[in-house]
Amino acid sequence: MNINFILQGKGGIGKSFLASVISQSLLASNHRIMCIDTDPVNASFASFKSLNVHQIKILDNNKEIDSSAFDKFMELICSAEDIDDVIIDNGAASFIALTNYLLLNGIFDMLQEMGHTVTVHTILVGGQAFSDTLVGVSEVCKYFKDKCSIVVWENEYFGKIEHNGKQFTEFSVYKNNSEQITHVLKLEHLHEMFANDLKRMNEMHLTFDDANQSKDFTFMQKNRLNIIKTKLFEQCNQLI
**Which pLDDT score is estimated for 38?**
92
Can you give the pLDDT at residue 67?
84
Whether residue 120 contacts residue 2, with contact meaning beta carbons closer than 8 Å, is answered with: no
SS3 call for 226: helix
Coil, strand or helix at 81: coil
Strands 2-6 and 149-155: unpaired
In tens digits, what is the pLDDT along the chain, a chain of 240 residues? 999 999 999 999 999 999 999 999 999 999 999 999 998 888 899 999 999 999 998 887 767 888 888 999 899 999 988 999 999 999 888 999 999 999 999 999 999 999 999 999 999 999 899 999 999 999 999 999 999 999 999 999 888 898 888 999 999 999 999 999 999 999 999 999 999 999 999 999 999 999 999 999 999 999 999 999 999 999 999 998
* 3-state class (DSSP) for residue 148: coil
Q: Where are the beta strands (DSSP E) in 33-145?
A: 33-37, 54-55, 85-89, 117-125
Contact between 35 and 19 under an 8 Å Cβ cutoff? The reply is: yes
Question: Is 129 within 8 Å of 158 (Cβ atoms)?
Answer: yes
pTM greater than the 0.85 cutoff: yes
**Contact partners, residue 31, CB within 8 Å, separation at least 6:** 84, 85, 240
